Amino acid sequence: MADSASSADESLGKRKREQGEQDGRSPKRQTNYSDVVTILVGRDEVPFVVHKELLCQCSPFFAAACSREWLPDSGNKTVPMPSIKPKVFTQYIDRVYKNTIDLGLPQAPSKATERVCDEHGHAFLRAIRLYLAADILLDEALKMDIINQLIRFVDHGTLSFHAKHVQKIWNNTTENAGLRRYLLDYLATSGKATSEWLRGTKDKLPLDFYVELAIRQAEAYDTTTSLRPSWNNRCNYHDH
């Protein structure tokens, strides 16, 4: 169904090596495009046929899953991935092959109309889902890219947090996750966690979220250093 392998060629490897050199990273060795693996994604096990070596370069999870201990050279080379939805995995594979992501978040100022805010809310939900997928796949570089895009967006506009956004992050991240820290710092410093917002979400979110938010708001009040997420402090939200 989603045969990503059929569209890749040697120019992709060259492009990635050049990108690595521009970023100051060591260029990757030439990728082997002859070996593919099938990832069965979601509850319906939608098949994605992907170049194994390219996938393993991006994801330590797949590097382990495709190792000889787990995926012998002989037999059917398939890896189940039931916890990620096909639509989200499609975004991930786009990132693997193109080395870039487009979350639909504007990187320049835009007028905050109701329609635009709704579009931003959908884009933010896509970003959350892709971040959580990257967390499962141990792709720290992608998580950093998503955080950076969110921060660039906040620098130029506003971000509307709905209860479903907070629930998605809070229920699927650990205490020290970068996206959770970002959520708390943004709500604690942006003025978005108004009394009306808090009353409207009080029956929808866990108690420990409100406790952590109150602590962060107090810390923001007590310090002279801004805790608002910005490009200058983006590393605070990277999971190194």
Domain assignment present for residue 196? The answer is yes
Residues contacting residue 39 through CB under 8 Å, at least 6 positions apart:
47, 48, 50, 55, 62, 78, 79, 80, 81, 89
- Domain membership of residue 184 as a residue range: 114-237
Same domain, 92 and 133: no
33 or 201, which is more confident: 201
The pLDDT assigned to 74 comes to 54
Band (pLDDT 50/70/90 cuts) for residue 162 is confident
Residues contacting residue 131 through CB under 8 Å, at least 6 positions apart:
142, 143, 146, 147, 179
Same domain, 71 and 140: no
Residue 16 sits in a domain whose CATH number is 3.30.710
The pLDDT assigned to 22 comes to 41
Same domain, 222 and 183: yes
Lowest-confidence region among 66-75, 161-170, 179-188, 229-238? 66-75
pLDDT digits (tens, 9 = 90+) for 167-214: 999 999 999 999 999 999 999 998 888 899 999 998 899 999 999 999
Same domain, 72 and 122: no
Same domain, 87 and 127: no
The pLDDT assigned to 182 comes to 94
Mean pLDDT over all residues of the chain? 81
Lowest-confidence region among 31-40, 148-157, 162-171? 148-157
Among 71, 98, 125, the domain-final residue is 98
State the Cα–Cα distance between residues 180 and 108, nearest whole angstrom: 24
Among 69, 98, 127, the domain-final residue is 98
Domain assignment present for residue 71? The answer is yes
Domains held by the chain: number: 2
Among 98, 132, 150, the domain-final residue is 98
Same domain, 167 and 137: yes
What is Dmax (Cα atoms) for the chain? 61
Same domain, 128 and 222: yes
Model confidence, pTM: 0.81
